[in-house]
Amino acid sequence: MPAEFKFDIPASRSEHDTSPDKVPSCCAARRMAAQASSGCGTPSMEHEHKLPERIDTASVPEAKIEAADAMKRPETSSWPVIPEGIYILGTNDGEGFPSDAEGPARPVHVKSFRISPYTVTNAEYAAFVAATGYVTEAERFGWSYVFHLLIPDLERVSIVGSPQQTPWWHGVEGAYWRVPEGPGSSVDDRMNHPVVHVSWNDAQAYCEWAGVRLPTEIEWEAASRGGLEGKRYPWGDVLRPDGEHRCNIWQGVFPTKNHASDGYLGTAPVDAYKPNGYGLYNVSGNVWEWCADWFTQNPDKRGSSEQPQGPAEGVSRLMKGGSYLCHQSYCNRYRVAARSSNTPDSSTGNIGFRMAVDI
């Protein structure tokens, strides 16, 4: 990548390990933690933007919210029910990344819950924004990360910088969920694609409005296995059974040549490919999915064996599933047990979320 893309970016949004991480033993979460604790000399975005943890619906006319609620809030009663039981969290698979604390595998008890079959779409997020006037963090910060090959014309966007460790990400001014590649782009023909450029805080705000919540890691993992036990992917151990693509990842040479033989360079519709045994679509690939948990690299802090919810505090939030940028040779984190993280205010073009609800 060109050297001129090495810029100084505020630490809180500087490392976006949603992309393949070439050096898994030096994951972005640790780099972020180190930078944050050392104060790294860059201005803190939090100091400049006091971002609300919760949306302020008090300022939105009640009738407007009710009207939108009635039409657009997710109908959870149709969501797949994940049965109560003992599920295996993590893996001892040799393909796992020990530094990500994927292992050791351990049995945990999970209560029954419902989970959305799809990640939240642009259409759904648009309804939330229309109902509440919510402004995402990418909009407040004024930029978000876009993968370089997805930017139609580099000359026509303003790039605020790129992380040195992952220079294929460009911080594009004006990029947010509605204009995912920056000004001039649109989601009009992607309303059934996952919403992206939403931070963990943005996802949380949506969930609060919708009366749902983010799944915990073990809930996500239990649901994504689709009833199978100990398999690498939601459908089994073979990435492409009978040569069939089962998820939206990267084919070719990362990060310069994507053959897209699975049909998609960027995001795919949320219902692309076959669902897993529980009826969940695209748990592997397409977009990383925010989970409720804080991220830890210490396996002993991943919670108890009874409905674990991760550590009590942390620096970054957990993500599962991998994205359209994952490649087997580089970042095979589209495996069920794989995990990554990012700071709660981070947003990129390959992070979305799905929802869960108690029964």
Residues that bind Ca ion (CB under 5 A): 248, 260, 262, 264, 324
Q: Minimum Å distance from CB 118 to Ca ion?
A: 18
Handedness of CA 25, 29, 34, 40 (dihedral sign): positive
Query: Residue 17: what residue type?
Result: D
Residue 247 C-beta: closest distance to Ca ion, Å: 8
**CA atoms of 123 and 104, how far apart (whole Å):** 39
Q: For Ca ion, give the closer residue by CB, 235 or 324.
A: 324
Backbone conformation region of residue 197, classed left if phi is above 0, alpha if psi is from -120 to 50, else beta: left
Please name the residue that has the structure tokens 């009640």. Answer: 62
CB of 239 to Ca ion, least distance (A): 13
- Closer residue to Ca ion in complex, CB, 136/248: 248
H, E, C per residue of 128-168: HHHHHCCCCHHHHHCEEEEEHHHCCCHHHCCEEEECCCCCC
Task: Identify whether 98 is preceded by a cis peptide bond (ω within 30 of 0).
Answer: no
Least gap, CB of 257 to Ca ion (angstroms): 12
C-beta closer to Ca ion: residue 40 or 260: 260
- CB-wise, 327 or 354, nearer to Ca ion? 327
- What 3-state class would DSSP assign to 118? coil
Give 304: exposed, middle or buried? Use CB within 10 Å, 0-12, 13-18, 19+.
exposed
Minimum CB separation of residue 51 from Ca ion in Å reads 32
- Spatial separation of the C-alpha atoms in residues 330 and 328, rounded to whole Å: 6
Q: At its nearest, how many Å lie between Ca ion and the CB of residue 6?
A: 27
Judged by beta carbon, residue 216 or residue 248, the one nearer Ca ion is 248
Task: Decide whether 149 or 359 has the Cβ nearer to Ca ion.
Answer: 149
